[in-house]
Structure formats: structure tokens, C-alpha cells
Amino acid sequence: MTVTYRFGTSLRRIDAEATLEVAAACLASHGVRRVVDVTPLDRVGLPVFVSIRPEGRTLAVHAGKGSTPGEARVSAVMEALEFAVAERPPSRETVSVTPREAREAHGLDFLSLCPRLGVGIPSDRPLDCLLGECLLGGGPRPLPVETVHLLEHGSGSGYFGSNTTGLASGNDVVEATLHAALEVLERDVKSFQCVRDETRLIVPESLPPPLLEVLGRIEAAGLRCALRHAPSASGVPWFQAVLWDPDDLDPSLVNGGYGCHPDATTAATRAVLEAVQSRLVVIHGGRDDLIDTHRRYASMSPTERVGHLQRVLRRALDVDGQVELESVPSLDTSGPLESVLDRVLDAVGRARLGPPVRVVLESIDPRLAFVRVAIPGAENFTNAERKVGRRLVERLRAAR
């Protein structure tokens, strides 16, 4: 009988300690030199670990969160391995496909994969692609290589930039695919909130005891956390958490976290724990991309920084239209992971996104799986990448 382990922050095929035992044997060969518990660096006490991969081309420090130290450790380890696998050149043969051919022969519009803002893609320019599996059937779909692998700087077409949305791992392909699809859906909702914030505060008294305990530890440490919800096109629950220290309004320590999961409580918990992780990443100071954050705030005048903080916290605390957690419907998470994945894919279809396309990446151990999932039509906007698809363009036009 297939067993699904239901942790505080995820659904997995086997428990975290068993996964860690398998993954630990792969660390040295994939450049991971240390796995460190950084929880004591902050006063909150919720577990955060980091994996150190000094020769990583895209990122050298990978953080992991969880409701237990074991979950946090395996999260940090698996992210480091995901990056290591995705940084490798494709192990399978690429095919040359023009946007016109992709659209006419495969029913896939490359513009639905969120190219960078302002970039035009000539219809007849061949792009190096990998053939992925359409998860709803209908034959293979080509995905530009840079939407699957993390390429060397300057390589690839340059149309799509480089990011890790939809890159995930698991104890098998189904588990990895579920995690990847949920991350794509999480970034989709987040993208729309960048254009128009539609989040509503969750009434704290409506939260279940385990999550109240987490928030209680945050408050006991002298911090504050606001949990907010926004509806998603797919109907999969999505939450945002904002964490700050009222006595130290350093903008880099006003931290956000996001969660998207079929179970609303799990999604909310993931958002809160990610905000805690984000704070600890700043305190630890080892992540390569932190310098961009510091530069952005350093470029502001004191007045601008105060104004920025006031806007963020005013929005975080806005009680207009606040909702109770029970009002956010969950998807059914009963049964094996295959059933949960099917329900998530059904939700994607109801949102008129997709169909989802999966590329299974090179395996480093038969007991682990690494995948990249793309959901055509899903948005993936960040200030750094500025990738925009058709739906977000329509929202931007409507907001004028």
C-alpha cells in the first residue's frame, strides 16, 4: 500500500530522515561542503538550515525551512542538489524549434512561458529546446533550454532569463512534480499581487493551535507577523506572511514568505516559516543575491526608506475585508500522492492554464528525482527578472 507522509509543511512519499539519508550520500559529489543549523543566529528558534555549495554557479548558499529540524535540514539539502543538477548541461539531446513550429505543431505558445519584459521573439528564429512530457496527454512539448536548465551566463536565447520556478525534487517523480507544480502556482499568484495587492488579513483567532503556537513563538521573540490570503486562479490555497521587528525597522529585516498547497493550513504554515527563513537568511548574510537587496535600500534616501516601510506595514496590517482561515477552501489531500497531483492538475485546467509540461532531469540516485515543470500561462514576475506573460499584461492594462 502506498503511504503519504503528511508533515507540517509538505506531503512526501517517505519521512524526512529517510530522504536525508539518501541525499547525504550525494552531497560531496555535487559540491555541497557543509550543512549548517543557523537557527541559533536568531531569537525566534524556529528551525532553518543552510547548505553551502561554494562552487555553485548560480547560488552558493541554499536555505531550508520546516516545522522540525529534520524537515528544515532536508529542505536545505535538496535545494542545493536541485541547483547542482539544473546547472549541468542537458544530458539529453536538444531539438531546434521555432516559435511558429511550437505553436502550430505542438500547440505551445512560447509567449505563454513569460519572456522578459520588452523582449520580442521572432516567429521563425530556431531555439534550442528539450522535449517535455505533457502531463495531461497529447504528445511531447518543446521547452526552451533556458526554461529548464540554469545555463552559463550569456548562453541561451536571452528571451526568458534564468530562474528556478518549477524546479523541484522528491523521493520519486510524482512527489517532485507535485512540489514543482505548486511552486509555479505560488509564483503566479505572487506576480499578480505585485500589480494589485488583493490580499486580505487572516483573523489570527481563526488559526489552528499548531500555527498559533508558531506565531506565539514569533511574538515571544518580540517580532510581529501578519498572515494574508489572496484567491488564486486555480483555487489552490495561497498565503503571504509579513514578518518584522517593531524595534528595528531595517528594511532588509521586513521579510516576506509565501505558501501554496492543496491544504490551506499547510499553505499558511509554509508562508509563515518562509518569512522566518527569509529573516534568518539576511541575518546569516551568506546568500549571493543579498547584495542586490542591500543595494536597492542603500540607494534610497532616509525619507524614502521610511516611506517604503510605512507602505509595506500599513498594507500588512490592513484589516479591511479580513477573513477567517476556515473560509479558505482546501483541495482534497487524501489518498496517495498520485491522487493529490491529479487534483492539482485538474485545478490548473479549471484555471485555463497549461497544460503543464514536465522535463525529468538527470538522476543522481534512483531513490531521488529532479524535475522542471512549466505551466504555460502561469505568471512569474519578479523585480529582478521582470518576466511578463499575457495574463499579467492584461492586468497591467486594466490597472491603468
Given a cut of 90, whether residue 2 has pLDDT beyond it is no
Does the bond joining 356 to the residue before it have cis omega, within 30 degrees of 0?
no
pLDDT tens, 215-241? Answer: 999 999 999 999 999 999 999 999 999
pLDDT of residue 4: 62
Residue 163 phi/psi, 5° resolution?
A: -155, 175
Query: Which grid cell sits at 357?
Result: 509540461
Given a cut of 70, whether residue 398 has pLDDT beyond it is yes
pLDDT tens, 16-53? Answer: 999 999 999 999 999 999 999 999 999 999 999 999 99
Amino acid at 81: L
pLDDT tens, 352-388? Answer: 998 999 999 998 999 999 999 999 999 999 877 889 9
**CA 4 remoteness from chain centre:** 22
Query: Which grid cell sits at 143?
Result: 521547452
Closest CA to 34 of 60, 8, 11, 58: 60
One-character DSSP codes across 150-207 = -PPTT-S-SSS----TTEEEESSHHHHHHHHHHHHHHHHHHHHHHHS---EEBPGGGS
Residues 322-345 have a mean pLDDT of: 98
CA distance linking residue 47 with residue 72, whole number of Å? 6
Amino acid at 165: T
Residue 370 DSSP SS3: strand
Strand order in the sheet with 34-37: 34-37, 48-52, 61-65
CA distance linking residue 397 with residue 400, whole number of Å? 6
> 394 has which bridge partners?
none
pLDDT of residue 7: 57
Query: Which grid cell sits at 205?
Result: 483567532
- Close Cβ partners of 264 (under 8 Å, ≥ 6 residues apart): 237, 239, 325, 328, 329, 330
CA distance linking residue 176 with residue 126, whole number of Å? 30
pLDDT of residue 40: 98
337 membership: H or E segment, kind and range: helix 337-350
> Domains, the chain, ranges and CATH?
5-90 (3.30.160.20), 95-168+352-399 (no CATH), 189-327 (3.30.160.660)
Average pLDDT of the chain, as a whole number: 94
CA distance linking residue 263 with residue 269, whole number of Å? 10
Phi-psi region of 236 (alpha: psi -120 to 50; beta: other; left: phi over 0): beta
Given a cut of 80, whether residue 317 has pLDDT beyond it is yes
Share of the chain above pLDDT 70, in %: 98
Given a cut of 80, whether residue 400 has pLDDT beyond it is no
Handedness of CA 3, 6, 12, 17 (dihedral sign): negative
Residues 272-295 have a mean pLDDT of: 94
CA distance linking residue 259 with residue 170, whole number of Å? 18
Closest CA to 395 of 225, 195, 214, 202: 195
pLDDT of residue 1: 38
CA distance linking residue 82 with residue 31, whole number of Å? 12
Closest CA to 238 of 313, 183, 164: 183
Residues 99-110 have a mean pLDDT of: 96
pLDDT tens, 181-213? Answer: 999 999 999 999 998 999 999 999 999 999 999
Q: Label residue 158 by pLDDT band (50, 70, 90).
A: confident
Kindly give the residue spans of alpha helices, DSSP state H, lying in 171-301: 173-195, 209-220, 264-284, 290-298
pTM listed for this prediction: 0.96
Residues 310-331 have a mean pLDDT of: 97
